[in-house]
Amino acid sequence: MKFIHVQLSPPLKERLEERCKRLGLSMSAFVRLAVVEKLERE
């Protein structure tokens, strides 16, 4: 597995944290799911 480091603006990070809490996922799990979903659409 590769590690990717990204910097998010504070408002974007806050929105991501809120969405992850609602879904019960860690941020890394949420991002992995989003990447898989995007790759499946291609």
Instruction: Specify the pLDDT at position 33.
Output: 93
Residue 4 lies in a domain: no
Residue 5 lies in a domain: no
Residue 24 DSSP label: T
Instruction: Specify the pLDDT at position 11.
Output: 96
Q: Kindly report, residue by residue over 1-42, the tens digit of the pLDDT.
A: 678 888 999 999 999 999 999 999 999 899 889 999 999 999
Instruction: Specify the pLDDT at position 1.
Output: 66
CB-based contact 20:26 (threshold 8 Å): yes
Instruction: Specify the pLDDT at position 2.
Output: 78
Residue 14 lies in a domain: yes
Split into its structural domains, the chain has a count of 1
Record the tokens describing residue 13, joined without a space.
């990070």
Domain that holds residue 35: 10-41
- C-alpha span between 13 and 41 (Å, rounded): 25
